[in-house]
Amino acid sequence: MKLNDACSVPENIGEFSFESFDNFDSYVHAARPALIKLLGLADMAARKSPHRLTPEHLWKRDLGWGTVEKLRFEYEPDEFGNAYFCVPAGAEPPYRLFICLQGHSTGMHNSIAVRWEDERTPIPMEGDRDFAVQCAKRGFAALCIEQRYFGERSMNTEDRKPGCQLPALQNLLIGRTAIGDRIFDVDCAIDYLKSRDDLDHEFLGITGNSGGGTTTMFAGAVLTRPTHLMPSCAFSSFRGSIGSMKHCTCNYVPDLLRFGEAADVLGLAAPRPLVVVSGAEDKIFPLADAKAQFERLRRIYAAAGAPDNLRHAIGPEGHRYYAEAGFSALAELM
What is the rounded CA–CA span in Å between residue 254 and residue 172? 8
What's the CA gap between 194 and 293, in Å, rounded?
33
DSSP letter at 119 equals S
Q: Are 158 and 149 in contact (CB under 8 A)?
A: no
Q: Which DSSP category does 124 fall into? A: -
Q: How many CB atoms lie within 10 A of CB 173?
A: 7
Written as tens digits, the pLDDT of the chain (334 aa) is 455 544 544 565 689 999 999 999 999 999 999 999 999 999 999 999 999 999 999 999 999 999 999 999 999 999 999 999 999 999 999 999 999 999 999 999 999 999 999 999 999 999 999 999 999 999 999 999 999 999 899 887 778 888 889 999 999 999 999 999 999 999 999 999 999 999 999 999 999 999 999 999 999 999 999 999 999 999 999 999 999 888 889 999 999 999 999 999 999 999 999 999 999 999 999 999 999 999 999 999 999 999 999 999 999 999 999 999 999 999 999 8
Structural domains for the chain: 3-331 (3.40.50.1820)
> Cβ atoms within 10 A of the Cβ of 194, count?
12
How far apart, in whole angstroms, are the C-alpha atoms of residue 72 and residue 88?
21
CA Rg value for the chain: 19
Q: Are strands 66-76 and 274-279 parallel, antiparallel or unpaired?
A: unpaired
